[in-house]
Amino acid sequence: MKRTSRWILWAALSALVISPGCRGKSAPEAAARAGEDRDHGNEAASKTSVTLTPQAVATADIRTEPAAPRALARRIAAPGELEFNARRLAHLTARTPGRVERVLAVEGDRVAGGQVLAELYSPDFMALQAEYLQAAGRAARFAADPAEAGPARALLQGARERLLLVGATAADVDGLEASRTPRPLLAVRSPLGGTVLESGVLAGDHVELGTSLFRLADLSTLWACLHIQERDLAYVRTGAEVELKTQAYAGRSFRGRLVLIGDVVDAATRTVEGRVEVPDPDRLLKSGMYVEAAFAAAGARTALAVPESSVQDDGGRAVVFVKTGERTFSRREVVVGERAAGWVEIVRGLAEGEAVVTSGAFLLESELRKSSLEDEHGHD
């Protein structure tokens, strides 16, 4: 009975030793093979260098540029809208009661400075002319009398100023004195060269003092009112040249100068108004248009930088190809900073003088992936 028990125990131990061998390799051998496979897989996945044939280098037209310190001027972008230049707007109102006899300009007309826009018949204007003629006659009579000459000249000057206040020009007053004949109509002239935005009267209308007649604007310059982010204010200076783009003129840019930075931060948008004066001699821009503005930030600084074309986006990571041999290129992850005028700041990952690929990186990426796949299949 004891001998039978010993045989059963020996059979069980033999089964435990021999069983792993029946399924293939021993446990230590399987673990070693798994580790080897894992190492080969990691090596293939982490492959970062590729060597091209001379023919491939020539075909790909691979070009490089050394990483070097460069002066970087940060670019600030801001949206905005075009508005009339408030310094070149005019609102003409009636300076004396009367009746509109003629309207010589209507909405949309372009007019010159001093051009007659309308003519009014005004009893008050007629009375002021008569007063001036009387004062002129008195001044002439007492010109040689020391006691009366001064008061007579003062009276004449007062009559002259009252005519100028209702809209007569200096030339009109001089002509009145020369002809001694009152003018029946008072001319309403444009104070500037520009465009008639509104014409508020018609021939035959009666106007009172202050009645709106015309609104005009000189459209040779406009204002672009920008919304500058609060975070960018430290880099903004008046006098900066600004580039403006519109949806209406794709591919064309307009240039202006930043003339004002506002003093109030909008509580809702956290922006400050910036005013850009934009010349528009061709009259292409329109008030109310949306614009996208960009300008260089104040305080350019020097930093290690590479051309923008050399930096590739790999799922949110910035990578470059660095030339490490005559025909060998390594893929390297870098940390980038500011972008300005076609250059990208490299914060970490490159040393000064290392040559980065600026043209042909797509081929290098393809060759690197192809090489990695071949290595993976070779180890299977």
pLDDT along the chain (380 residues), means of 10: 43 38 39 39 54 77 86 86 97 97 96 97 97 95 90 95 96 93 96 95 96 97 97 91 94 95 96 97 95 85 85 85 85 84 86 86 77 58
pLDDT of res. 71: 79
Distance spanning both ends of the chain, measured CA to CA: 54
Residue with tokens 């660095």: 322
pLDDT of res. 379: 54
3-state helix/strand/coil string of the chain: CHHHHHHHHHHHHHHHHHHHHHHCCCHHHHHHHHHHHHHHHHHHHCCCEEECCHHHHHHHCCEEEECEEEEECCEEEEEEEEEECHHHEEEEECCCCEEEEEECCCCCCEECCCCEEEEEECHHHHHHHHHHHHHHHHHHHCCCCHHHHHHHHHHHHHHHHHHHHCCCCHHHHHHHHHHCCCCCCEEEECCCCEEEEEECCCCCCEECCCCEEEEEECCCEEEEEEEEEHHHHHHCCCCCEEEEEECCCCCCEEEEEEEEEEEEECCCCCEEEEEEEEECCCCCCCCCCEEEEEEECCCCEEEEEEEHHHCEEECCEEEEEEECCCCEEEEEEEEEEEEECCEEEEEECCCCCCEEEEECHHHHHHHHHHHHHHHHHHHC
**CATH 2.40.30.170 residue window(s) in the chain:** 75-86+219-296
Q: How are strands ordered across the β-sheet holding 194-199? A: 89-93, 212-217, 194-199, 110-111
As a CATH number, domain 45-72+301-379 is 2.40.420.20
pLDDT of res. 19: 36
What is the maximal distance between C-alpha atoms in the chain? Answer: 168
pTM above 0.75? Answer: no
Q: Which residues of 119-135 are buried (b: 16+ CB within 10 A; e: fewer)?
A: bbebeebbebbebbbeb
**CATH 2.40.420.20 residue window(s) in the chain:** 45-72+301-379
Task: Choose among 80, 74, 69: nearest CA to 234.
Answer: 74
Q: Which residues of 264-273 are buried (b: 16+ CB within 10 A; e: fewer)?
A: eeeeeeebbb
Segment 288-343, tens digit of pLDDT: 999 999 988 876 678 888 888 888 888 888 898 898 888 888 888 889 887 777 88
pLDDT of res. 183: 94
Fold for domain 75-86+219-296? Elongation Factor Tu (Ef-tu); domain 3 (2.40.30)
Instruction: Residue 367: count other Cβ atoms within 10 Å of its Cβ.
Output: 16
Phi/psi region, residue 287 (left: phi>0; alpha: psi -120 to 50; beta: rest), is: beta
